[in-house]
Amino acid sequence: MRFSKLSLLYAIGLFCLTACASSSVQGIDEDNESAITPTQLRVMSYNIHHANPPGSKGVIDLDAIAQVIRNEQADLVALQEVDVHIDRSGNVHQAKALATMLGMHYYFAKAIDFGGGEYGVAILSRFPLTDTLKVTLPREEDPRAEGRVLAIATVKLPGGVRIKFGSTHLDILGSANRRQQVQTINAIAAADKPPFVLAGDLNDYPESPAIAELDQVFQRTCLVDCEPTFPQDKPDRIIDYIAFTRSSNLKVLAHKVVPENYASDHRPVVAVLEFASAPNAVTR
């Protein structure tokens, strides 16, 4: 597969040198550096299908999405297929609305213009977010494919510890594009020091070349006897994942697919991660 070194270097350069201002919802003490760092994190990946229950054409039910997240008590949530000010979903900023409903911080990254607004991925967090960044993922193998992005934020945990968290939604049509997009994500994660947790709809199966590429840098939270995530009513394939960099001091305590079949056409994935040793504070 042809892979552009120029696009990869560009993505790494963006990651290292460029940051976007984050949007957040207050309600958590951002200055409480003396608090004890949590030893466990509950992480969720959820393709929310712009809050349209697949069995209810034209219906938008953000309350249902919020309740799924609330029930799982997630600390970090990677959202995909998020609408911002789009007519079909009532011109609502869905990431901001969910953050408000849940008392969480948020960051939205646009992938494409759509329906008079923006469409993309988002991050929700119980903890403050800094150094937010959108990386445009390559699609050189098939430039006709829909634009895809990686949203990254530094999560500021109590006690001064910081980790990186990423949300993404890979190309649905081209396996070569997906592999190229994973290569870009791998290079970004490998170049960074803090633990990097990635979650999203990767649109590929565990045995695919793209996921084999992911496994070079990341550890998936489920490797054996994993439950399918799509479609929501009778799931028969695994395309939604949570993973963390192999160089980090994290380990998996639990992994599950939530048996939710109303709110979206994907079932959410939840993993409980634990710091294998006391995490070190990172100043940036």
For 26-49, how does the pLDDT look when each residue is reduced to its tens digit (9 = 90+)?
334 444 445 777 889 999 999 999
224: confidence class by pLDDT, cuts 50, 70, 90: very high
Largest CA distance in the chain: 50
From CA 231, how far away is CA 215, in angstroms rounded? 24
From CA 170, how far away is CA 150, in angstroms rounded? 9
Among 122, 127, 83, 84, which residue's Cα sits nearest to residue 104?
A: 127
pLDDT digits (tens, 9 = 90+) for 112-145: 999 999 999 999 999 999 999 999 999 988 888 9
Q: How many residues does the chain have?
A: 284
DSSP assignment of 100-143: HHHT-EEEEEEEEEETTEEEEEEEEESS-EEEEEEEEPP-TT-T
What structural domains and CATH numbers belong to the chain? 5-275 (3.60.10.10)
Distance between alpha carbon 177 and the CA centroid of its chain, in Å? 18
Q: What is the pTM of this model?
A: 0.88
